[in-house]
Amino acid sequence: MKILVLNSGSSSIKFRLFLAPAGDESGSGDWQVAASGAVTRIGEDAAQVKLSWTDAGGESRSRKDEAHIDSHHAGMERIVDLLRETGGLGGHEELAAVGHRVVHGGEAFHAPTVVDDDVIAAIRRVIPLAPLHNPANLDGILVARELFPSVPQVAVFDTAFHQTMPRPAYRYAIPGYLYREHHVRRYGFHGTSHHYVAKEAARMLGKPLSQCNLITLHLGNGASATAIRGGASVDTSMGMTPLEGLVMGSRCGDIDPAVHFYLCRHLGFDNDTLDDLLNRQSGLLGLCGVNDMREVHRLAEGGDEDAELALGVTCHRLKKYIGAYLALLGRVDALVFTGGIGENDAEMRGCACAELEALGIALDAAANRAVATHARAVSAADSRVKVLVVPTDEELEIARQALEALS
Ligand code: ADP
C-alpha cells in the first residue's frame, strides 16, 4: 500500500511516495520511502525536476531534468510520469491515499480530513488568513483529485495540532469582535512537526504521549516553540501568522506592534514595505546580513560583531520561551529540539539550556556536541527534564495521518 505526500507551494511541488508498513493499520511500523523529489520554478523558463528512488535491485538512484512546466497540473503530470517510468508507481490502484500539507485550517480543522467539496470550500474560506500558502496547497489538492479521481485525498493542516490551545492562550488582548467577526487569534504553525517529535519523544521516554508534558522547539528557517500538556498543544509561539515568536532566518518574531506605527508615521512605510521588512528582511538576515545559521556561525567565529549579536538575540528569545513554557506547564518531562538548527546546532542548544540547572535542565556537554543524525538524549544523567534531539519528518507524519484519517 502506497501513500503519496504532496507539499504544493506557489511555484513548486515537493513529493514523497511511501510504502506503508504491511498489515499495520495504525501506521506505526516501519515506513519505506519508495521515491521523493520536487518540481521547482514552475512557470519560469526552465522548471527543475528532481527525483530520487530505489530501483528494483535496491540501489538508490536519482535524476535531475529541466523542462518547461507552466502549471501545477503540468508539474503533477510530470511527477506521475516519472514515478511510472522509474517503477515507483504502477497504477492508481496502488495508492491508498494522497496526503496534502495545508498550511492554514483556521478553526475548521482539528485533525487530518478526507477531502470532499465541503472541505475544499472550507480551505478556500480561510485563504484570507494565509493568502500566500493556502491557494497553492489547494491547487495541489485540485490537481491530484483530477489525476487520481478514485484515490482519497487527505488534507493535513499545520494549524490542526494547536487547535487544543485553551482560550487564554489563543486570544489576543484586543476587542472581542475582531476574533468573533474577523477570526483574529493565535493559530500556530509547524503543528505536524511538533506532533511528530512529541510522539517520538514519548516513545523515547517510555510513556504514552497523553502523559507527557513537553516543550518542543522546531528551529529551522522558520522557528516555533510549543508547550504540550498531556500530549496536547496548550501554547505555541507563532500566532495568527507564522511571523510571531522566535527569531527566524528572515522573520523578526516578537516585536512591539507600535514599531509599525512609528515606521509608517516617521519613515512613510506602507503595508507592503512593512510585510517585506518583517517577513523577508529581518531575523538573522536583518541582524547580520545572512539568513543561514551555519553562515552566521562562520561569521561570528571570524569576529563579526553583528553575527555574534544575531546569535545572542536568537538564543535570548529561545531562552525566554523555554522559561515561559516551563512556568506554564509546571512539570516538564522533556525539552525537544528539532529542525535544521535544533537537530544540528550544538552551540545554540547549549546556549538555550545554559544555567538552567535550577529549573531542572542540565545538558551532557559531550552528548550535546556529538554529531549525529538519529534521535538521542543530550541531557545529563541527573537532569530532571530530559533534553532530546529528534529529527523531524513532516512528510512521514502526513503519510501516517493520511492513513489514520482513512481508518
Ligand atoms: P526549513 O525551515 O526551510 O525546513 P531547515 O529545518 O532545513 O529549514 O533548517 C535550516 C536551518 O538549519 C538553516 O539556518 C541552516 O543553516 C541550519 N543548519 C543546518 N545544519 C546546521 C548545522 N550543522 N549547524 C547549524 N545550523 C545548521
8 A C-beta contact, residue 153 and residue 398: no
Nearest CA to ligand 1 atom 3: 221
Q: Which atom of ligand 1 is nearest to the CA of 294?
A: 16
Query: Do both 220 and 153 map to the same domain?
Result: no
193 inside domain: no
Q: Residue 184 burial by CB count (10 A; 0-12/13-18/19+): exposed, middle or buried?
A: middle
Residue 92's pLDDT is 82
- Whether 283 is in the pocket of ligand 1, judged by its Cβ within 6 Å, is no
C-alpha neighbours within 13 Å on the C-beta side of residue 403: 23
Confidence (pLDDT) at 10: 85
CA separation, residue 116 to residues 4, 123, 155 (Å): 18, 11, 10
Per the DSSP assignment, residues forming a β-bridge with 155 are 100, 113
Pocket test for ligand 1, best of 294, 371, 373, 392 (most atoms within 8 A of CB): 294
Assess if residue 402 is contained within a domain. no
> Last residue of some domain: 157, 192, 218?
157
Q: Are residues 224 and 140 in the same domain?
A: no
Burial 26-38 (b: 16+ CB within 10 A, else e): ebeeebebbbbbb
Q: How far is the CA of 404 from the centre of ligand 1 (A)?
A: 30
Cβ of 9 below 6 Å from ligand 1: no
- Which strand (E) or helix (H) includes residue 219? strand 214-219
| 213 occurs within a structural domain | yes
Q: How far is the CA of 3 from the centre of ligand 1 (A)?
A: 27
Ligand 1: which residue has its CA nearest to atom 12? 340
In this structure, the number of other CB atoms found within 10 A of the CB of residue 142 comes to 17
Ligand 1 geometric centre to CA of 293 (Å)? 6
The DSSP-derived string for 8-47 is: E-SS-EEEEEEEPPTT-TT--S--EEEEEEEEESTTSSSE
Catalytic residues: 158
State how many domains the chain has.
2
pTM over 0.85: yes
Whether residue 250 is found in the same domain as residue 380: yes
**What is the CB neighbour count within 10 angstroms for residue 230?**
14
Phi, psi of 185 (to 5 degrees): -165, 175
* Domain-embedded: residue 148: yes
Q: In testing the pocket of ligand 1, which one of 295, 344, 369 has its CB within 8 Å of the most ligand atoms?
A: 344
Q: How many CB atoms lie within 10 A of CB 324?
A: 15
Pairing status of strand 95-102 against strand 2-8: parallel
pLDDT of residue 91: 79
Give dist(CA 3, CA 202) in Å, integer: 25
Q: Is 299 within the bounds of a domain?
A: yes
Ligand 1 pocket member 242 (CB < 6 A): no
217 and 365 both lie in a single domain: yes
69 C-beta closer than 6 A to ligand 1? no
Q: What is the domain extent for residue 132?
A: 2-157
Residues 269 and 143 in one domain: no
263 and 378 belong to one structural domain: yes
Atom number of ligand 1 nearest to Cα 291:
14
Residue 86's pLDDT is what?
Answer: 87
Radius of gyration of the chain (CA): 22
pLDDT at 27: 59
For the four alpha carbons of 221, 236, 153 and 125, in that order, the dihedral sign comes to: negative
CATH value at residue 25: 3.30.420.40
CB burial of residue 375 (10 Å; 0-12, 13-18, 19+): middle
113 and 217 inside one domain:
no
How high is the pLDDT of residue 25? 59
332 lines ligand 1 (CB under 6 A): no
Cell of 360: 531542572
Distance from C-alpha of 304 to C-alpha of 59, rounded to nearest angstrom:
45
Domain annotation covers residue 55 = yes
Question: Is 345 near ligand 1, meaning CB less than 6 Å away?
Answer: yes
One digit per residue, the tens of pLDDT, for the chain of length 407 reads 899 999 998 899 999 999 998 865 555 678 999 999 999 999 998 999 999 998 888 889 999 999 999 999 999 999 999 998 888 888 788 999 999 999 999 999 999 999 999 999 999 999 999 888 899 999 999 999 999 999 999 999 999 999 999 999 999 999 999 999 999 999 999 999 999 999 999 999 999 999 999 999 999 999 999 999 999 999 999 999 999 999 999 999 999 999 999 999 999 999 999 999 999 999 999 999 999 999 999 999 999 999 999 999 999 999 999 999 999 999 999 999 999 999 999 999 999 999 999 999 999 999 999 999 999 999 999 999 999 999 999 999 999 999 999 98
Residue 330 burial (10 A CB sphere; 0-12, 13-18, 19+): exposed
Q: Decide if 176 is inside a domain.
A: no
